Amino acid sequence: MKNIHTFKDISEVSRFAADKFINIGNAAIKKNGRFTVALAGGSTPKILYQLLATEEYRSQIDWHSVFFFFGDERDVSPMSDRSNFRMANESMLKGLKIPKTNILRWQTEIIDAEGVAIAYEKTLMRFFELSLGSFPVFDLILLGLGEDGHTASLFPQTSALKETGRLAVSTFVEKLDANRLTMTFPVINNAAMIMFLVCGEAKAEALKEVLEGESNPDKYPAQSVAPASGKIIWVLDDDAAALLSGL
């Protein structure tokens, strides 16, 4: 039975997600002394981030014990209006007034996209104290869903979908004519908790295929999100969930 929650609109989705974020975070801090979270880009999580930066939520967790990563990034300057980091920074991170060392972003100032991916792998290995061939365990990974079934920057029919050993890769997405940077499925599926946020009528068809369609992860990469021992929760608005038959 899939763990699916549906709400009227993105505002209600974001509030539910914010409460979940705080609960998961406080439990992780109590257990491990820190909360590790990989943020998602795109338009859907922006309201969540803005909500977390409000006084109501700022007072509910020790933000100095929260360490922010990014599940994927565009190969652009961190100051670009297309940067996932910039969106999260302006929506939330700046307002939290946490040390810069708590924000571990992709170093897209590096000219070569593959160099950016290698640098992020080293960041992950250093922070989580990983040995070669092992994967980090994030307390929470936030994910979205594209109209084409992609998640993070794991796009249909790209080589990144087949990666089994690396933590982070650069991937050329032909239809975007651009490089993307992304954590790999082994990292995503090693998380303790994965939370998908999916809103809008435009996502309904892809969501139905991912949740109820025949297995075709090359076409709908989000089907490959299947935590090894962690949990996955889907937080949807009514428009995105409109075609689902199992609700």
Task: Summarize pLDDT for 12-29 with one digit per residue, the tens.
Answer: 999 999 999 999 999 999
In the predicted structure, residue 174 carries a pLDDT above the cut 70: yes
Structure tokens at 245: 């038959």
**pLDDT at 111 (0 to 100):** 80
Spatial separation of the C-alpha atoms in residues 201 and 238, rounded to whole Å: 8
Task: Summarize pLDDT for 176-193 with one digit per residue, the tens.
Answer: 888 999 999 999 999 999
Contact 241, 5 (CB under 8 A): no
SS3 (DSSP) at 136 = coil
In the predicted structure, residue 246 carries a pLDDT above the cut 80: no
DSSP-derived secondary structure for 168-227: EEEEEEGGGTEEEEEE-HHHHTT-SEEEEEE-SGGGHHHHHHHHHSPP-TTTSGGGG---
Contact 36, 67 (CB under 8 A): yes
Distances, alpha carbon 135 to alpha carbons 92, 114, 186, in Å: 27, 19, 7
Best CA proximity match to 33, nearest among 75, 7, 62: 62
Q: Give the distance from CA 123 to its chain's centroid.
A: 17
In the predicted structure, residue 71 carries a pLDDT above the cut 80: yes
Cβ-Cβ contacts under 8 Å for 215 (sequence gap 6 or more):
223
Fold of the domain spanning 4-203 = Rossmann fold (3.40.50)
Contact 227, 194 (CB under 8 A): yes
Task: Summarize pLDDT for 100-131 with one digit per residue, the tens.
Answer: 999 999 999 988 999 999 999 999 999 999 99
Dihedral through CA 125, CA 222, CA 12, CA 84, nearest 10? Answer: 50
Reported as a pLDDT band with limits 50, 70 and 90, residue 1 is low
Best CA proximity match to 194, nearest among 138, 239, 145: 138
Structure tokens at 85: 């980091």
Structure tokens at 116: 């950016």
Provide, rounded to the nearest whole percent, the portion of the chain with pLDDT above 70: 99
Domain extent listing, the chain: 4-203
**pLDDT at 177 (0 to 100):** 86
Average pLDDT over residues 36-42: 97
Instruction: State the chain's mean pLDDT as an integer.
Output: 96
Best CA proximity match to 98, nearest among 88, 107, 111: 88
In the predicted structure, residue 196 carries a pLDDT above the cut 70: yes
Task: Summarize pLDDT for 233-243 with one digit per residue, the tens.
Answer: 999 999 999 99
Q: What is the pTM of this model?
A: 0.97
Structure tokens at 20: 């979940």
